Structure formats: C-alpha cells, structure tokens
C-alpha cells in the first residue's frame, strides 16, 4: 500500500521483506482547470517533469528533461513531453535504474515547471508518485499530492537520496518560479 507523503516526510525505499528496489519511476499527472461560463473547455497546460542528478558535494552531475530524455550514463530516462495533461494516469514519467546510477551521484531531485507559464492555481489533480517499476503490476510506493495552488509556476517535488546501499525518497513540495529547468537550479540547491 502506498504511503501518502507530506512535505518533508522521508520514506526508505527498501522492499517489504528485505532487499532493495532496483527500478522505480516518478510519475507526474495533472489536469487543467476548466474555463468558460459553463466550465466546458479547459486550457492546455504544459507541465514538464525534470530530474537533476547531484554528487555528495551538491555539484550538478547531469539532468534529464524533455530536451535530454536520457542521462549520460543511461540510468535515468524520461518518457517524453506531454503538452496538455490530457488523459488518465501519469502524463510524464521519469524512470530510474537505481543500481545503474553512478556511485558519484548521491541525490536525484525531481521538479515540475509550467512551460506555458500558467501558475499552479490553474492546475488541478497534480500528483507525484514513486512506483516500484520492477514489479509486473508496478506497485505504488509513495504518493505526494501537489495540492498547493498559488501564484508559483514550478514545484520542487521530491528527491531520492542514497542511504547506505539503498535509497530513500523525501517529499519536498516547495513552490518555485520558472518555466524551464534552468530557472530552477538555484531553488533546487536549497533542498539538497
């Protein structure tokens, strides 16, 4: 059963019954707010999921986003850009092959930004989830509702950090401003 995380909450990613996870994905889903007199039409909102990889000193090692769908080593991959948020389930997914993440990478930070510039007051049902992708039924391990609507155009969602031989996920949920991954680097550094 998935744990619903709150800001700052940390969850070890050890498997129930022992062992470590090998493949996870961070899924991002959202819906646009309906507009108009009878709220029959919605405005397309292009949210972008991104992942920044840092070493233990906080130096940026690599990044994965809609213009770079794979980390240089191939351990982190992006599903591709969803421009509207239409459809059920995850709109963008970032896969992480945990054993393949280079030993010098200590932290992976996941962000979401509004490329089209709308703020989060125009986004509904935004959710970030961590899923055990090695299981055939893809078991949801943790879910974080991005429910803070407001005048920000980005969120620093969560981070994966090394803990001994395993990993842990921490919900961050910090509002930020920026339409692009480059705009968020300084804000992300505060959460390493």
**pLDDT score of 180 more than 50:** yes
- Concatenating the DSSP letter of every residue in 105-125 gives --EEEEEEEETT---GGGEEE
> How does the average pLDDT of the chain come out, rounded?
79
Give 97's strand partners.
23
Extract the tokens encoding 131.
Answer: 């899923």
Rounded-to-integer distance, Cα 169 and Cα 21, Å = 12
The whole-number pLDDT of residue 39 equals 47
Extract the tokens encoding 140.
Answer: 């949801």
Rounded-to-integer distance, Cα 191 and Cα 36, Å = 38
Domain definitions of the chain by residue range: 3-189
For the segment 72-83, what is each residue's pLDDT rounded down to a tens digit? Answer: 999 999 986 654
* Residue 25 · residue 129 · CB < 8 Å: no
The whole-number pLDDT of residue 5 equals 66
Rounded-to-integer distance, Cα 156 and Cα 138, Å = 24
For the segment 106-150, what is each residue's pLDDT rounded down to a tens digit? Answer: 999 988 887 877 777 777 777 778 788 877 777 787 777 765 567
The whole-number pLDDT of residue 148 equals 52
CATH assignment of 3-189, among 1.10.390.10, 2.50.20.10, 3.20.20.210, 2.60.60.30:
2.60.60.30
Extract the tokens encoding 164.
Answer: 């001994």
Q: In degrees rounded to 5, what are phi and psi of residue 53?
A: -110, 130
The whole-number pLDDT of residue 174 equals 84
* Residue 71 · residue 60 · CB < 8 Å: no
The whole-number pLDDT of residue 107 equals 96
CB atoms within 10 A of CB 14: 16
Which segment, 45-59, 138-152, 167-181, is predicted with the most confidence on average?
45-59
Instruction: Indicate the range of 65-74, 118-127, 149-158 predicted with least confidence.
Output: 118-127
The whole-number pLDDT of residue 55 equals 96
């Amino acid at each position: 059963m998935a744990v619903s995380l709150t800001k700052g909450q940390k969850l070890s990613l050890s498997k129930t019954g022992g062992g470590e996870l090998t493949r996870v994905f961070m899924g991002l889903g959202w819906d646009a707010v309906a507009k108009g007199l009878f709220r029959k039409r919605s405005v397309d909102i292009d949210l972008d999921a991104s992942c920044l990889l840092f070493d233990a000193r906080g130096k940026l090692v690599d990044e994965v986003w809609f213009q770079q769908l794979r980390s240089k080593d191939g351990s982190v991959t992006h599903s591709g850009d969803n421009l509207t948020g239409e459809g059920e389930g995850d709109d963008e997914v970032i896969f992480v092959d945990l054993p393949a993440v280079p030993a010098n990478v200590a932290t992976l930070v996941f962000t979401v930004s509004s490329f089209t510039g709308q703020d989060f007051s125009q986004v509904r049902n935004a959710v970030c989830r961590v899923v055990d992708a090695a299981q055939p039924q893809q078991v949801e391990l943790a879910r974080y509702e991005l429910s803070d609507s407001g005048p920000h155009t980005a969120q620093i969602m969560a981070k994966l950090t090394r803990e001994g031989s395993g990993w842990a996920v921490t919900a961050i949920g910090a509002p930020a401003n920026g339409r692009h991954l480059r705009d968020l680097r300084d804000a992300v550094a505060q959460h390493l």
